[in-house]
A and B are shown apart, each in its own frame.
Chain A
Amino acid sequence: EIVLTQSPGTLSLSPGERATLSCRARQTISRNYLAWYQQKPGQAPRLLIYGASSRATGIPDRFSGSVSGTDFTLTISRLEPEDFAMYYCQKYDKSPLTFGGGTRVEIK
């Protein structure tokens, strides 16, 4: 089973700053089938990025994803107030469709 390790656990930043979130897999994920989700308190998760770098429908272009080997990165170029939330990565190439432990982006 592939384990996904997200870091940091918490990211404290100010609006307008750049956020860089990491998701590291222990093994190769086929076809880079790695997704990023955003979740706010009391809400269901929302898909941001799939295929490591493709934005989901309606997602602003300040969100971007990239990959280098087994290291995946979600970048928020300039944080808006509504971006402060939890972020999860998930592999979806094959079962089990494991999630990472999450990164909280909080207001500094």
Chain B
Amino acid sequence: EVQLLESGGGLVQPGGSLRLSCAASGFTFSAYAMSWVRQAPGEGLEWVSLIRYTGVDTYYADSVKGRFTISRDNSKNTLYLQMNGLRAEDTAIYYCAKTHNNGWVSDYWGQGTLVTVSS
């Protein structure tokens, strides 16, 4: 059974940093690209970032480019999102998601971790 467990969310002041983790199990983690998707309170889904299975190629939404860094440790079956320069508009639930073997569609999702940026 595929399981994705996010952690690392919490309350942080504007300008601060936070690192999210996503522990994966139930599949061959090193074989799949992984994504982060966020959802602000009461809003829709926003794709944040994707990393290919090797970890070499990464992609970002314009809204986070230059501030967020996605990475992975295939030996630990863990995905990360380093978030720097946080803003109030980054407040959201952050989901990690596994991609399908047919393109970058997200076929399994974690339950999310809440990040609140506020003074």
Contacts of B112 in A (CB 8 A): 44
Contact (Cβ within 8 A) B45 A47: no
- Supposing A44-B110, A99-B47 touch, asked if A33 and B59 sit within 8 A by C-beta, the answer is no
A104 to chain B, nearest CB (A): 10
**In the complex the two chains form, what is the Cα distance from A35 to B107 in whole Å?**
10
Contact of B59 among A39, A96, A102 (CB under 8 A): A96
Q: Which of A19-27, A70-78, A87-95 contacts B (4 or more CB under 8 A)?
A: A87-95
Contacts of B61 in A (CB 8 A): 96
**In the complex the two chains form, what is the Cα distance from A95 to B60 in whole Å?**
8
Contact (Cβ within 8 A) B46 A47: no
Contact (Cβ within 8 A) B62 A47: no
B109 to chain A, nearest CB (A): 4
Contact (Cβ within 8 A) A45 B103: no
B82 to chain A, nearest CB (A): 19
* SS class, residues of chain B in contact with chain A: strand
B51 to chain A, nearest CB (A): 11
Interface size class of A (residues with CB under 8 A): 20 to 34
Contact (Cβ within 8 A) A99 B44: yes
Closest 6 CB pairs of A and B: A95-B59, A44-B109, A97-B47, A92-B104, A50-B105, A99-B45
- Supposing A33-B103, A35-B105, A50-B105 touch, asked if A96 and B47 sit within 8 A by C-beta, the answer is yes
Q: Is B13 an interface residue (CB 8 A)?
A: no
Contacts of A86 in B (CB 8 A): 44
Contacts of B34 in A (CB 8 A): none
Contact (Cβ within 8 A) B109 A92: no
Contact (Cβ within 8 A) A47 B103: no
Q: Which of B68-119 contact A (CB under 8 A)?
A: 95, 100, 102-112
Interface string of A18-60 (1 = CB under 8 A from B): 0000000000000101010101000111110011000011000
Contacts of B22 in A (CB 8 A): none
